[in-house]
Amino acid sequence: MEIKDILKPSLMILDLKANNKASVVEELIKPLVVEGIVKEEKVFLKVVMDREEQSTTGIGMGIAIPHGKSSMVTTPSIVFGKSKTGIEYEALDGKPSHIFFLIAVPEDSKEEHLKVLSQLSRKLMNSEIRAKLLNATTAEDVINSFD
């Protein structure tokens, strides 16, 4: 299983409308609810925001990876989101965030899924991949960024 297998066009928002932390997380959760991956929207939102309370997932360099582990999630999934204007996400470097990966994981995940997520996290530390993601305009571009 590779990163590509977990990135789905139906779970991508290439033009985020939200303009603050709370609303961007809400917007990113929406496709998961539509696809039936998240059962209780409110509960999962709280899980993600609680994680943010502990320490922000805005890792700087324009990237944020809100995430949550909850029994309300049926399959491990990633929602990709991109904001043209950038969103203030309490990032470590204080700059606005443009690229979002919302990671949703069920309480009892299979190891192979978790491995893919750890790979994704590692790849995001690579500046080339980040540059490709920032320039991506289509779902395909996003998926190809990880080649």
Q: Which residues are known to be catalytic?
A: 67
State yes or no: residue 14 binds another protein (CB under 8 A).
Answer: no
State yes or no: residue 7 binds another protein (CB under 8 A).
Answer: no
Q: How many residues does the chain have?
A: 147
User: Is 82 exposed, middle or buried (CB count within 10 Å of its CB: 0-12, 13-18, 19+)?
Assistant: middle
Question: Can you tell me the distance from the alpha carbon of 10 to that of 80, in angstroms, rounded to the nearest whole number?
Answer: 10
Region near another protein per CB under 8 A, out of 9-17, 27-35, 113-121, 135-143:
113-121
Closest Cα to residue 133, out of 1, 23, 3? Answer: 3
Q: How far is the CB of 107 from another protein (least distance, A)?
A: 8
Give the residues lining the site for another protein (CB under 8 A).
Answer: 51, 54-57, 59-60, 65, 67-69, 71, 92-93, 103, 105, 109, 111, 114-115, 117-119, 121-126
